[in-house]
Amino acid sequence: MDIIFLTFILVLSVFLGFELISKVPATLHTPLMSGANAISGITLAGAFLAAGATTNDMASWLGGAAVAFATINVVGGYLVTDRMLGMFKSKRGK
């Protein structure tokens, strides 16, 4: 049941993703990619399980490294996307 449930979520998310992203204009494709980088840092939520919840040394080292890599994505991704999007200005804004 769990597998079916998770697959169900996957399928719906993929369709939703295609709908949403195909509406992003070409002008914003670079920020879209760096924003996607940030979102893929979501593995952070999974990395906590590995890093903190076991007493096995090897597992917590692997988990710690996973936390570090994922945090690079989250922090770096959102900051650089914000920096880029801040540059896009409208004619009327000036």
Interface with other proteins, residue 3, by CB under 8 A: yes
Residues 39-78 within binding reach of other proteins (CB under 8 A) = 39-56, 58-78
Interface with other proteins, residue 1, by CB under 8 A: no
DSSP state string for 48-76:
HHHHHS---HHHHHHHHHHHHHHHIIIII
3-state helix, strand, coil in the chain (%, to 5): 80, 0, 20
What is the nearest approach in angstroms of other proteins to the Cβ of residue 4?
A: 11
From CA 93, how far away is CA 11, in angstroms rounded? Answer: 41
Interface with other proteins, residue 2, by CB under 8 A: yes
Residues 11-40 within binding reach of other proteins (CB under 8 A) = 13-14, 16-18, 20-40
| Tokens read off for 77 | 């991704």
Interface with other proteins, residue 4, by CB under 8 A: no
